[in-house]
Amino acid sequence: MPFPLAQVANPQGENLRNTIDALARTPLSEILILVTVCTVLRLALAGPLKNTPVHLRSGFYPVLKFLNEAMDAIVYAAVFVFMIIRPFALQTFLIPSGSMVSTLLVNDMIVANKWVYRTSDPKPGDIVVFRPPAWGVYPEQLGADGVPKVDFIKRCIGGPGDLVEIRKGELFRNGQKVAEPYVKYTSTMDQIRFTELPPERRDQIAQDDFKLVEQDGEVIPVHSFGPYTNSRDLVVSKYVVDPIDGETLRAKPAVKIPEGYYLMMGDNRNTSSDGRYWGLVPRESIVGKSEAIWFPFSRWQVTR
């Protein structure tokens, strides 16, 4: 059955979502400036407020006292949220694309647990937030320093030592077929609204083969359409090869995911730019694990 288009479009609260997302991504340098300014102003007000006689504490005194206490609260909140909670524990993220439909919809806001991967490693099936490779993003997603300024969210399909293959659209891990009830195949009108393809149409396109092979000492992705990027031009076409080289690569045996790397794919399998195109994610690029959708409130649920 098609997904309800209004549900997937999810337009309510757009301004609130954008504001929260902008706040969540505020650079630490800006937070430090805010904390410094508030601290200086508090110190400047502290003396006059303390030395004002009781009988003169009227007029502007209550206003200045309120501002002093407000800045005190801002400093403590900024330090607690942006220097403790955000780096080490939790952070909210806005879902910008339909690559995880229907698990995550466009404009959902999720809470990512950053602490969990400080004490453990990602497991197959986890929904993971990570920093993508530079060759896996579009030009507008690159910062001036050449580093991606976006985070991706996909499902972990395999970790170090796993032999992962897709055969005719079916996932195999270490030789065992893996059930993927979360996988969808969709069509989209405008990158916001999605409809699930009928079974006959899905059967036509869900025939992709995929594996990882070794080439010149590097483990690279290869699938039945050749080791290249998707239809939109990415920043660097790292795995684009000519047809002859593609046939040579497809003839190579599948290899395991090397130590320190993970394979990520989107649940919306035919519309996701993921590890099948731009390869593996190093452990140090992993940010956290999606725990729940918290906004819009009608979509609140634990993510699995």
Q: What letter would DSSP give residue 254? A: P
Catalytic residue among 50, 58, 97, 99: 99
- Beta strands per DSSP E along 78-146: 90-94, 109-113, 127-130
Would residue 99 show up in a list of annotated catalytic residues for this protein? Answer: yes
Residues 6+ away with beta carbon under 8 Å from 2 = 195, 196
Residue 279 identity (one-letter amino acid): G
Q: How far apart are CA 96 and CA 285, in angstroms?
A: 19
Catalytic residue among 154, 211, 238, 289: 154
Would residue 50 show up in a list of annotated catalytic residues for this protein? Answer: no
- Beta strands per DSSP E along the chain: 90-94, 109-113, 127-130, 152-158, 164-167, 170-173, 176-177, 186-188, 194-196, 210-215, 218-223, 261-265, 281-282, 286-295, 301-302
Q: How far apart are CA 41 and CA 49, in angstroms?
A: 12
Q: Which residues does the annotation mark as catalytic?
A: 99, 154
